[in-house]
Amino acid sequence: NAGVTQTPKFQVLKTGQSMTLQCAQDMNHNSMYWYRQDPGMGLRLIYYSASEGTTDKGEVPNGYNVSRLNKREFSLRLESAAPSQTSVYFCASSEFSSLAGPETQYFGPGTRLLVL
């Protein structure tokens, strides 16, 4: 099992350009998440998807859109990149159950994005 994979690993964009960050998981998880990580601010949730066909906003959704293409894939799109979106982006997945048990989120290796 590859776990959670993300592409690309690195990307440089100019202000106003668009791009899509790809994420896939092979653990048959229902829930998937997109976070951004900035120095001194920890991880902040951008969007999440509790199941195939559903998405919802997290803490910092402005400037982003997401697509839950199928159970495996969850993409994050920047329509018009801004320097404030320079960050490291992490995708995660989990088999969340409200019945019992801890929430273990499995993270991808991250995409480092620089917007000039």
Partner 1 sequence: GEDVEQSLFLSVREGDSSVINCTYTDSSSTYLYWYKQEPGAGLQLLTYIFSNMDMKQDQRLTVLLNKKDKHLSLRIADTQTGDSAIYFCAESMGSGNTGKLIFGQGTTLQVKP
Q: State the Rg of the chain over Cα.
A: 14
CA 38 distance to own-chain centroid: 14
The footprint of partner 1 on this chain (CB under 8 A) covers a number of residues equal to: 26
CB of 83 to partner 1, least distance (A): 22
| By the rule CB under 8 A, 45 interacts with partner 1 | yes
The full length of the chain comes to: 116
CA 97 distance to own-chain centroid: 20
- Structure token digits, residue 39: 């120095």
33, 34, 64, 74: which one contacts partner 1 (CB under 8 A)?
33
Q: Point out which span in 14-22, 29-37, 69-77, 78-86 binds partner 1 (CB under 8 A).
A: 29-37
Query: Which residue number, 17 or 96, has a Cβ lying nearer to partner 1?
Result: 96
What's phi and psi for 99, nearest 5 deg?
A: -75, -45
Look up tokens 């959670």; give the residue.
4
50, 52, 65, 71: which one contacts partner 1 (CB under 8 A)?
50
For partner 1, the binding residues in 54-113 under the rule CB under 8 A are 58, 90, 92, 94, 96, 98, 102-105, 107-110
